[in-house]
Amino acid sequence: MWQRLLLRLLVALSAIASIGGLLWMTFAPPPGMKVTKDGVPYLMPPVIHPISGEAIPVESLVRQYRGGK
């Protein structure tokens, strides 16, 4: 009897912690999760090369524009 109650309490606490953590990271993420050190958003989709049609990561374009390797 008390084991079932304890298990339900543990499941409820785990669910609250998981949902709370997801909501916290959604609405107030740390600054490091938003952009890379070059200022490119992490969830930026690749861009299409106009001549070859291949997908190029935006990070490589930023590095090329800045003159880095």
Structural domain boundaries of the chain?
1-33, 35-69
The CA distance from 63 to 69, in Å, is: 7
Q: Does the global pTM surpass 0.75? A: no
Residue range 19-68, pLDDT digits in tens: 999 999 889 888 777 888 888 888 888 999 889 999 999 988 888 888 76
**Residue that wins the pLDDT comparison between 18 and 69:** 18
Helix (H, G, I), strand (E, B) or coil at 50: coil
pLDDT tier at 69, thresholds 50, 70, 90: low
Residue range 54-67, pLDDT digits in tens: 999 998 888 888 87
